Amino acid sequence: MTKSKNGPGTELLGSDSSRRGFLKGTAAVTGGLAGILATGVAPAVGQERELKMLVNSHFVPAADAELKRQLEEFGKAEGVKVRFDRVAHLQLPAVLAGEVQGQKGHDIISTRDGNAHLYSKHLVNVDDIYEKIGAAGGGWTNNEFGKGRDGSQKTIPWYFISFPIAIRTDLVAEIGENLPDTWDDVLRIGTKLKAKGHPVGIQLSHGADSNWILRGMLWSWGGKMVEADSKTVAINSKEAIDCMKFVASLYKDAMQPEVLAWDDRNNNVCLASGKCSMILNPVSAYRSAVRDEALIQGTDRPVHQVINHIMPPKGPAGRHMAAAHQSVGIWKFSKNVDIAKKFLEYHFAPANAEKHLQASAGYNQPLLKSNALHPLYASNSKYYFAPFIGWYTHALGWPGVPTAAAQTIWDQYLLPDAAAAAATGKATPEEAIKKLEKQMTRIYKRFNK
Amino acid sequence: MATASEVEGGVRNTSPGVRSFLRRNLGPDTDGYLFVLPSIVMVLCLIVYPFGLAVYFSMSDAFIGEPMEFIGLENFVYIFEEDDIFLLVIRNTILFAVISVVCKVVLGLLCALLLQRITHLKRFLRGAMLLPFVAPTALTTLGWWLILDPTYSHINWILQNTFPFTLFEIRDYQFLGEPTLALGSVIFVNIWRGLPFFIITILAGLMSIPDHLYEAADIDGASTWQKFWKITLPLLKPVLAIIILFSTIFTLADFNIVYVLTRGGPMNETHLFATYSFTLGILNHEVGLGAAISLFLFPMMVLFVIFLLRMVRRDSAYEL
């Protein structure tokens, strides 16, 4: 074996000249990559126009399939490459936050509720297409939704996801009760049915459903998180404390501790499997039962036949419920703003909007007036609630508008945590509300600056 | 082929003054420095820069998508004085790390000692033992998530439907819903996943202990316990210290298991530093607070690493 001139251990490196070649090559590659990273511009050969869209995975997958089809059809017609990405709905806030922080990512993004306000500085103004789409669709049912901090339209309202009671009508009939109309009815019927092994299922956990339903309950008791000015924290009230007391009773008498660990899938499973007597949920639980042909335990009867949807219950201050309001926006950092706007016009054109609504099997409840009484909702008695639930449904931040602060409080699951603490006795209702007020005040202070 | 004079270090094209300066400070062969340069650049870009940025963020009111201002130690004061979840996080992390690591050491030692005695199917068993460790964490944790499901836990089903458990009318356990059980569940899954690393490493340590020590002990009439306490354990100490060090670092920084199983719930009772920092910094957009929480672990880790490395150094001077 020849001894290396460079000392022991260097034989494997080969000759000195190849070492230098290696170093030069490495330096060239590193320099090239550094250049691309520093400028943020790919070499000309790698540049091709690509329209990228990000949505959260739809609870009715056919809706995503239809949206993807439209995007591909549009891309073909316009001669642009397209990409359709989906993430789980609870992951979407993290992905949006990452894209804003990095100023890189998709062109068109699915947003919700207060995102337009939260990311106001980072979203393109879409007033022009908002007007056009609204005019073609008979106007918007809610003109406050999708506004940025400067009052301009930052996102196009897409659809809302309502929360009726999804209930096992056969179980209610078995105990000789009528369908519940008030929260007291829910507690009374739920207590009886829990004793028979069929509890009520309302998440008190870090899930979207929990956030919506608890807001609806709070409003039904006359409580509110914030005043109509969207700036003044108003959670610490007798009504809010009474609501928390009711949540504690409902948890103790009509629910099981599993609701503390539920995500947005568990209540669907609980109803479709025959365990839960009632949940507050969009039609996806029913749709899953239909799709899976789930049977009532010990019988040949499909459970979907005995599930129906009724209006959310009335509380002392009336019937109120929150809903997820979905919208779509375009990032300012997008290099395809013009083509992205064109796609949104294409997607919201009446024929395509109709196809998307049909594909969602009624899950997407329209925010365009022309579709509010869509024949789909008359096609199945399980959907009869749909055209009317909007009367009782409010967006995040009600009686104010969906703001960045309201969205942040939603994202932090502060209300579900307060309700869970009150329900489990970890805090008294008064303590839970006081702590929530403190947490909310800090966040509102930041955004009210 | 380069001549000897050409290959004498990487300084041949430099002026005599610079050459002597480099030789004096870096040694005769500067090529070595060029080879480690990419690694140094990577460490600077991927470790030092993000760390510095995290320190800066932790002293700012950084919020995703918003301009930030320097606020000094306000975030640290806030998490200590006002954020009661943070105190839970400290408690959870200590419990999680201590229980996990202690169980992994004890069980790992026990399994390694048993594995050492097995003569048949040795290779198969050692390979199979590694499965939980090599399978992707997110995937295996999803499996546990289904097993511990709040509504349809497989464990509850077995406890309620199989003999002899049916004799006791066992209630539904909320493995992910009841705070103590939820923390116990994430600790259990962490032990299940990390145990193979301990078993295989301890086994390697056991095999490196010379047989003649045991033979000499046998001649002296030592019992099994005496051999374990006087030979096996002292000679395993350096190996144990290193795996405890690695495991503690990985356990303290664990994210996947808690995020997949409980997402920090119920009521934030299973949050660890990593998950709470992610929740505050990314999901809640409060980058400054998230950075302050993640940095809290750093001084604790440094002290722990110094302590363990000193112990290893002291034990490496062990004389037979």
Looking at residue B310, its pLDDT comes to 84
pLDDT at A10 over 60: no
Write out pLDDT tens, residues A320-330: 999 999 999 99
Which of B284, B286, B287, B289 should one mutate to test binding to chain A, selecting the residue with the greatest count of A CBs within 10 A?
A: B284
* pLDDT, tens digit (0-9, with 9 covering 90-100), for A256-294: 988 998 989 899 999 998 999 999 999 889 988 998 888
- Please give the CATH number for the structural domain made up of B82-316: 1.10.3720.10
Give the pLDDT score at A155. 96
Q: By CA distance, what is A122's nearest residue in B?
A: B65
Q: Which of A146-150, B108-112, B164-168, B283-287 has the highest mean pLDDT?
A: B108-112
Would you state the pLDDT for residue A19?
A: 56
Same fold flag, A48-162+323-385 and A165-322+412-448: yes
| 3.30.70.980, 3.20.20.80, 3.40.190.10, 3.30.70.270: CATH of A165-322+412-448 | 3.40.190.10
Residue A1 pLDDT greater than 50, yes or no: no
Mean pLDDT is lowest, of A168-182, A206-220, B62-76, for B62-76
- A270 to chain B, any CB pair closer than 8 A? The answer is yes
Q: Dump pLDDT digits (tens) for A196-205.
A: 999 999 999 9
| Residue A30 near chain B (CB below 8 Å) | yes
Q: How many angstroms from the chain centroid is the CA of residue A93?
A: 9
Residues B288-297, mean pLDDT to the nearest whole number:
92
Contact A205 B41 (CB under 8 A): no
* pLDDT of res. B39: 94
Say whether B283 and A412 touch across the interface (CB within 8 A): yes
Question: What local confidence, expressed as pLDDT, does residue A144 receive?
Answer: 80
- Of chain B, the percentage scoring pLDDT greater than 90 comes to 50
ipTM exceeding 0.90, yes/no: no
How far does CA A20 lie from the centroid of its chain? 56
Tell me how long chain A is: 449
Least confident of A403-417, B20-34, B151-165: B20-34
Residue A179 in this model has a pLDDT that exceeds 90: yes
Identify the band that residue B110 occupies on the pLDDT scale cut at 50, 70 and 90. Answer: very high
Residue B295: its pLDDT value, please?
Answer: 92
Q: In sequence order, which residues have a C-beta less than 8 Å from that of residue B283 and are 6 or more positions away?
A: A93, A94, A97, A411, A412
Does the pLDDT of residue A29 top 80, yes or no?
no
Q: Which residues of B touch A97 (CB under 8 A)?
A: 64-65, 282-283, 285
Q: Give me A362's structure tokens.
A: 């009624």
Q: What confidence tier does B297 reach under pLDDT thresholds 50, 70, 90?
A: confident
User: How much is the pLDDT for A20?
Assistant: 59
Instruction: Say how many C-beta atoms besides its own lie within 10 A of residue A301's C-beta.
Output: 11
Residues of B in Cβ contact (< 8 Å) with A436 = none
Beta bridge partners of A108: A53, A330
Q: Residue A310, Cα to own-chain centre: how many angstroms?
A: 22
Q: Do B177 and A259 count as a contact with CB atoms less than 8 A apart?
A: yes
β A321-322/A393-394 pair status: parallel
CB contact under 8 A, A97 and B65: yes
Closest-CA residue of chain B to A411: B284
Per-residue pLDDT band at A152 (split at 50, 70, 90): very high
Q: How confident is the model at residue A91 (pLDDT cuts 50, 70, 90)?
A: confident
Domain residue ranges of chain B, discontinuous segments joined by +: 82-316
Q: By the CB < 8 Å criterion, does A100 face chain B? A: yes
Nearest to A281 by CA among A57, A55, A60: A60
- Which residue would you say has higher pLDDT here, B2 or A130? A130
Output the pLDDT for position A124: 97
Q: Which tops the pLDDT comparison, A219 or B310?
A: A219
Question: A180 or A292: which carries more pLDDT confidence?
Answer: A180
The verdict on A5 touching B (C-beta cutoff 8 Å) is yes
The rounded distance, in Å, linking the Cα atoms of A276 and A286 is 13
Which phi and psi (to 5°) does residue A173 adopt? -65, -40
Cα B119 from Cα B25, distance rounded (Å): 56
The pLDDT score that the predictor gives to residue A202 is 97
Residue A168 has φ and ψ, to the nearest 5°, of -85, 100
Question: Would you state the pLDDT for residue A172?
Answer: 97
Fold of domain A48-162+323-385: D-Maltodextrin-Binding Protein; domain 2 (3.40.190)
- Where along chain A do its domains lie? 48-162+323-385, 165-322+412-448
Judged by CB atoms within 8 Å, which residues 387-426 of A form the interface with B?
Answer: 408, 411-412, 417, 420-421, 424, 426
Q: Kindly list the distances between the CA atom of residue A15 and the CA atoms of A18, A28, B289, in Å, as whole numbers in the listed order.
A: 5, 20, 53
Task: Write down the pLDDT at residue A14.
Answer: 41
What's the pLDDT at A39? Answer: 52
Question: With pLDDT > 90 as the criterion, what percentage of chain A qualifies?
Answer: 66
Q: Mean of the pLDDT values across residues B6-24? A: 63
Nearest CB to A261: which of B31, B65, B174? B174
